[in-house]
Amino acid sequence: MRKIVITSGKGGVGKTTVVASLGRALSDLGKNVVLVDADVGLNNLDVVMALEHKVVYDIVDVISGRCRVSQALIEDAESGLFILPSSSDNPLMTAQTFRNVIDSLVGFDYVLIDCPAGIENGFHRAVSSAREAIVVTTPAVSAIRDADKVVSLLAGYQMQNVSVIINRVRGDMVSRGEMMSPADIARLLRTEPIGVVPDDELITLYSQVGKVPDYAASDKAFKLIAENIVYGSRKFYEYQKTGLLAKLFRRAR
């Protein structure tokens, strides 16, 4: 079982949508996937996946013994993956109790943990239960700066692998020099990229119908990211017809 925490330095970079989209893409590859909402307080993973109406128990109920972890899991009928919802912050939610819940999720190939944005206690609680980390950022300078802080903090944990997803990339702006390229961002963060996601207005459909249309550019990007994670490949969504992205990534490695 691979335990992957998906984190970011700041809110608003699309982290939770990345968790949901990537989980669905991994499930489409035939993997058994569970998404864990570790973002206590905001706890909107169930909303993003349009499953909030199915929530009966949450992770605090599991920790307190009010239910078994299997009772708290919600299945997404569309993709076949499961989510473990969260709730408001609770003193029972410690790094150890959270890790115990993660370890109890047997029978899954992938556990994706939706980490709270920032670097407060919730961040450390979520990260300490994972063996791999994916940092989500956008080309915005503030997002890159905060992502760099997260990458530095992750160095203090015994992670088997740390990679980065660059979200909301616009090829036209990159080509005009108005947006930093994914390769430049990867170099600044000194972290190997696992994927690039184009800026896609169709991604907003996730919170309405629980999925992104198969024809959406972002859906294609997440399928490539899932393959990179499962097979160890390095295929990136080419937002520029020239194929410049592939060349840039080869230079960055």
pLDDT digits (tens, 9 = 90+) for 53-75: 999 999 999 999 999 999 999 99
Contacts of 206 (CB under 8 A, 6+ apart): 17, 20, 21, 48, 49, 50, 212
What's the CA angle centered on 85, arms 12 and 210, to 5 degrees? Answer: 65
Structure pTM?
Answer: 0.90
Topology classification of domain 2-252: Rossmann fold (3.40.50)
Structural element, H or E, at residue 95: helix 95-103
pLDDT value at 249 more than 60: no
The predicted pLDDT at position 121 comes to: 81
